[in-house]
Amino acid sequence: MAARQPDAGPQQAAQGRPTAAGTGWPTGNPDGAADRCQRHPPQRAGRAMVVTARHERAATASPRRRASPGTTGAAHRRPSSPLLVRAVCAAVTGLVMADTMASTLVLPLLGRDPITQAVPLSQVSLLTTAYLAAIAALLTPAGRLADLIGRRAVLALGLGVFAAGACTMAFGSSWALLLIGRLAQGVAAAMILPSALGLLLSQVGDQQRRGAVALWGSATGAGGLLMHALGGLLADSHGWRALYLPLASAAVALLLLVAALPSTRGSKQTPLDVMGMLASAAATAAVVLLLACGGSWGWTSPAALALAAVTVGGAALAWARARRLPAGADDAPLWRCPGFVWGLATSLLYGLVAFPMLAVAPLVLREAGLSPTSMGLALAPMSAAVMLASTLVARAARRAGTSWMVYAGAYLTASGLIVLYAVPHASFGALAGLVIVGIGFGFISTTATISGTFGVDPSRYATAIGSLTTARMLGGALGPAVALAYLASTHQEAGEGYPELLAGAIGLSLLLGVLSLVRRIRHTRATAAASAPQPAASAARPAEVERVRQVLQRQRSRLEAIARTAEEELAALSARADPGRGRAASWSPSSSFAPPRQGAS
């Protein structure tokens, strides 16, 4: 009878191919049992046919896999579809962009609301400033939090807060409630954006990362397009508060779908630097409020000086803690990734150009006599151009490089702004200028995200995205604040001061184009220098070669001396062992250190 073969355990499995940690099953097979059965078929006779209950459970149970930080966990009963992940992450991004566009459409309509009729324009603009300031202040801490505790959890919390803030905007009965609701939406958007894109990037490979970023950029354009196309019509027929009811409903629906997304296990090895995050958020919010309200308060007023002190102190504290702690609000290793600093600079300049235009353009169109429906339809082609350009930029950036794509986007943006500067505000020429500007915006925004996330470790995706979007929203908060403060200080209508604002945006666009061109030239020179053939070492450093030759000669002399000494010792030993043989068994350096020959006994 055949002897029973022992079962293959973890040690035996490890001798074949790599196994999952702690299971003994090969990593290439999700179930492991089938592969095990193929390598160890059952015997045909006797006790070898007996399968114990322990072996049967081991053959049918699926192995557990140890998930790395920032990746999908293993204990999921229902695997998530990649299409569902893409759809939900794109939808929440479009939701945030639609809410941002809603604030620009609402700004001209607040003058007819009984609550805001007595509030001056500089104070009414706080609804937009507070929203963007909250996003800019909390994006980086929220991204760090998502990487540490899990992106799906932060995304779900953000959608819940967003729905509550939208309901407050829809039903708020006082100016204070409106500010609270808008702040809540800003806090929620800061949690949604980095966690959604970080979750999306963690589910795709390196080759698909550019496409995922392009999808994210297209979703922002789609959200703006829907709000511009339908938001004006809805506000015209039911009032500006009706814009926030669909946003709240969409947030609740997406919150229900988040439960089906893959969960991510955060890194528990490093503690969360709460103090550093609070310091960074306070510094960002303080500088935005200082620039937005410093002109009306007075730059030497106690409130303005207090905000300046908070800005300097918070920034210094956050920077110091980020250098000392591994889980600081600003992740220091990100700054060593290629393209991250360039992505930050591009995002900041993009925010300074794009958001002031989006905030002031509805005011200009209202002064031109357009209704809310007409205003939304006039701005819709620009959002459509952003969506179209974002879908094309990923493939183009792979071939031409990110610097050339930013250069093209900056050139197109400046060209479109020049067209808007030269033609009347409500004309077909202005429509063409908006389309050109939208294409440039799509190129710049998507390429900045692609460049900033290149080379980033998957466990830091949300942190990197939070930092990039922080730079964008910081520019988006500072730009409108400075633009509206300038209009209020000069007592100009939006239409009268619009050409001057366009001139400033044109200058910033040209600056971005010059920076991208300089970066491309430097990169080309560095690549050429690295690929150039290096001169021979003997021609470049003759003195060093001579020193090496002398060292080798000294070593050869020592070895020859050792060989002579060994020859003498062997000869002496042979003479004492067999005086008659003499030097019968000896060897010399000329024999290439061969062993001594043995004589006949």
pLDDT of 45 > 50? The answer is no
pLDDT of residue 180: 92
pLDDT of residue 69: 43
**313 found inside a domain:** yes
- The more confidently predicted of residues 235 and 394 is 235
**414 found inside a domain:** yes
- Work out the widest C-alpha separation in the chain, in whole angstroms: 129
Residue 248 tokens, joined: 């709240």
Domain match, 170 and 52 both: no
Residue partners of 433: CB distance under 8 A and separation at least 6: 416, 417, 418, 419, 420, 423
pLDDT of 38 > 70? The answer is no
pLDDT of residue 492: 64
**594 found inside a domain:** no
Domain match, 251 and 158 both: yes
CA angle 487, 492, 495 (to 5 degrees): 90
Residue 44: band (very low, low, confident or very high) from pLDDT cuts 50, 70, 90: very low
**Alpha carbon separation from 247 to 142, 244, 284 (Å, rounded):** 21, 5, 27
pLDDT of residue 2: 44
**361 found inside a domain:** yes
Residue 427: band (very low, low, confident or very high) from pLDDT cuts 50, 70, 90: confident
**Alpha carbon separation from 116 to 179, 235, 455, 460, 493 (Å, rounded):** 11, 16, 48, 43, 19
- The more confidently predicted of residues 254 and 593 is 254
Residue 373: band (very low, low, confident or very high) from pLDDT cuts 50, 70, 90: confident
φ and ψ of 26, to 5 deg: -65, 145
Domain match, 20 and 155 both: no
pLDDT of residue 331: 55
For residue 2, the 8-state DSSP code is: P
**179 found inside a domain:** yes
Q: Measured between alpha carbons, how far is 441 from 389 in angstroms, rounded to an integer?
A: 8
Number of domains in the chain: 3
pLDDT of residue 1: 43
pLDDT of residue 268: 53
Domain match, 122 and 215 both: yes
**437 found inside a domain:** yes
Q: Determine the average pLDDT of the residues in 143-152.
A: 83
Per-residue pLDDT reduced to its tens digit, 3-31: 444 444 433 443 444 443 333 333 333 33
Domain match, 154 and 47 both: no
Q: Measured between alpha carbons, how far is 64 from 43 in angstroms, rounded to an integer?
A: 28
SS3 26: strand
Contact call for residues 372 and 243 (beta carbons, < 8 A):
no
Counting every residue, how long is the chain? 601
Domain match, 367 and 440 both: yes
Percent of the chain with pLDDT over 90: 16
Domain match, 444 and 516 both: yes
pLDDT of 469 > 90? The answer is no
Residue 455: band (very low, low, confident or very high) from pLDDT cuts 50, 70, 90: low
Domain match, 557 and 426 both: no
Q: Determine the average pLDDT of the residues in 350-364.
A: 85
Per-residue pLDDT reduced to its tens digit, 583-601: 444 445 444 444 554 444 3
Q: Measured between alpha carbons, how far is 36 from 147 in angstroms, rounded to an integer?
A: 37
Domain match, 202 and 275 both: yes
- Sign of the C-alpha dihedral computed for residues 220, 226, 229 and 230 taken in this order: negative
Domain match, 88 and 53 both: no
Q: Measured between alpha carbons, how far is 326 from 136 in angstroms, rounded to an integer?
A: 22
pLDDT of 335 > 70? The answer is no
Q: Determine the average pLDDT of the residues in 75-95.
A: 76
Domain match, 188 and 288 both: yes
Per-residue pLDDT reduced to its tens digit, 509-567: 999 999 999 988 887 877 777 766 655 544 556 778 888 888 888 888 888 889 888 88
- What DSSP string describes 164-178? HHHHHHHH--SHHHH
**552 found inside a domain:** yes
pLDDT of 501 > 80? The answer is yes
Contact call for residues 322 and 330 (beta carbons, < 8 A):
yes
Contact call for residues 169 and 241 (beta carbons, < 8 A):
yes
Terminal-to-terminal C-alpha distance of the chain: 58
Domain match, 411 and 552 both: no
Percent of the chain with pLDDT over 70: 73
Per-residue pLDDT reduced to its tens digit, 162-200: 999 999 999 988 888 998 999 999 999 999 988 888 888
**588 found inside a domain:** no
Q: Measured between alpha carbons, how far is 368 from 210 in angstroms, rounded to an integer?
A: 41
* Angle of the 244-258 helix axis to the 82-106 helix axis, nearest 10: 160
CATH code, 100:
1.20.1250.20
> Can you give the residue range of the structural domain that contains 551?
542-580
